[in-house]
Amino acid sequence: METPSGLVASLYTTFYFKTKSFKTGLAKFCTSPIETILCSDNKQSMFCQLLTGLLQRDEVVRMGSSFASVLPRSIKFLDDYWKELCSNIRTGYLSDWITDAGCRNAMSLILTRPNPEMADLIQQICEDKSWEGIIKKLWPKIKYITSICTGSMSQYIPLLEFYGGGIPLVSPNYSSSEACFGINLKPLSKPFDVSYTFLPNTAYFEFLPVNKDGGGKAQDFEFLPVNKDGGGKAQETRTIDKPVDENVMLGQYYKVVVTTFSGLYRYRVRDVLKVTGFYNKSPVSICRTTKCGFEYRCRQNN
C-alpha cells in the first residue's frame, strides 16, 4: 500500500517480519519456516504453518500471534482443513494447491516421510465432538499462549480459554505502529487484569486528560509530560513543566500523545487510559478502559 505521495505504508508486524533481526532472531524459535510466514497467500501460509506445527507437535512449548483475533481464525482454519492436513502427514506429500515456491521448498525439508501414526492420533483428537482444550490436546507440551488479548482483542478471550483448556494467556506488551508503549510486568495476570508499565525511553509521552468516555474539548486540555525533566513548551496548549508524578493523577483518564525519535510529532493515540498505580514511586500505571475494557500500566524511571 502506498500513500498519496508514493511512500510505502504497511502494518508494523509486516515490516518487522521482513527485518533481519526477526529472520536471525525470533524466527529461529518458531516452528514455521520464514518462507511460510512471509508468503503473500494467506491460505497457503496458514496451511503450511499449521502443518509444520502439527509435524513438530511434541516440540511446541508456546503458541502465539500478534493479535488474539488471529488464533480463533487459525482454529477455524484447522477445523476446515484438518482432514487434508492429516492426509499430508499420512502420505508424506504436500497438497498440490500449495504452489508458492518458498512454501514448497521449506516444507520439503520438514515433510520428509509418511507418518501414519501421527496422522491417526491427530485425526482422533479432531474427530472429538467437543474442541474444548484442543490446543492442549494437539500440542501437549505447550506452556502458554502469547498474544495481545487486551483492548478490542479482549472479545476473543473466552474463545482462547475454551480452546486452550486452561493454558495461561500472556499479553506481553502494549505496542502500536507509532511506538512500543509498555510491557506487562506480571505476565501471568488474568487477561482482564492485565496492565502495562510504560517505557519512557522508547518515545516522548504526554497525557491528555479526558473524561471516562474519552470525551472533552481539546482546548480545555493540558498536556502532561511523562519525562521527569518536563519538555518544550506547547504552542497550542499549556504544558506543565513539573515532575510527572505531580502531573499524572491516580484514577484520572488520559489519552496518550506520542512524539517519536523518527519524527512523528505529538500524535494523539485514540486509546483511553486510566492511571491505576505507580511503579518504583514514579507514575504511572495506566489502564485502557471504556470502549476497550482493560488496563495499562506505564512507568517513569527514577
Q: For residue 240, what are the contacts with CB-CB under 8 A and spacing of at least 6? A: 222, 223, 224, 225, 230, 247
Contact 54, 89 (CB under 8 A): yes
> Residues 20-50: pLDDT tens digits?
766 666 666 788 888 998 898 999 999 999 9
Amino acid of residue 70: V
Question: What is the rounded average pLDDT of the residues 243-269?
Answer: 78
Which of these, 244, 207, 242, 53, lies nearest to 138 by C-alpha position?
A: 53
- CA-to-CA distance for 98 and 105, rounded, in angstroms? 11
Q: What is the mean pLDDT of residues 218-229?
A: 45
**Buried residues in 224-246 as b, exposed as e (16+ CB within 10 A):** bbbeeebbeeeeebebbeebbee
Give the number of other Cβ atoms within 10 Å of residue 135's Cβ.
24
Within its chain, how far is the Cα of 177 from the centroid? 12
* Per-residue model confidence (pLDDT) at position 67: 85
pTM flag (> 0.85): no
The distance from CA 20 to its chain's CA centroid, rounded to whole angstroms, is: 20
Cell numbers 483475533 correspond to 69
Range with lowest mean pLDDT among 18-22, 149-153, 213-217: 213-217
Average pLDDT score over residue span 216-232: 45
Whole-number average pLDDT of the chain = 80
The one-letter amino acid code at 273 reads: L
Q: How confident is the model at residue 218 (pLDDT cuts 50, 70, 90)?
A: very low
Give per-residue pLDDT as tens, 260-300: 888 888 988 888 888 777 777 544 455 554 333 333 333 33
The per-residue pLDDT for 287 is 54
Question: For residue 171, which of 297, 14, 23 has the smallest C-alpha distance?
Answer: 297
Going from the C-alpha of 7 to that of each of 4, 10, 143, 265, the distances in angstroms are: 8, 10, 41, 18
> Is the pLDDT assigned to residue 19 strictly greater than 80?
no
- Burial annotation 92-118 (CB, 10 A radius, 16+ → b, else e): eebbeebebebbeebbeebbeeebeeb
Those residues with Cβ within 8 angstroms of residue 32's Cβ, 6 or more apart along the chain or in another chain:
48, 49, 52, 53
Residues 6+ positions from 56 with CB-CB distance below 8 Å = 31, 110
- Contact call for residues 172 and 184 (beta carbons, < 8 A): yes
Residues in the chain: 302
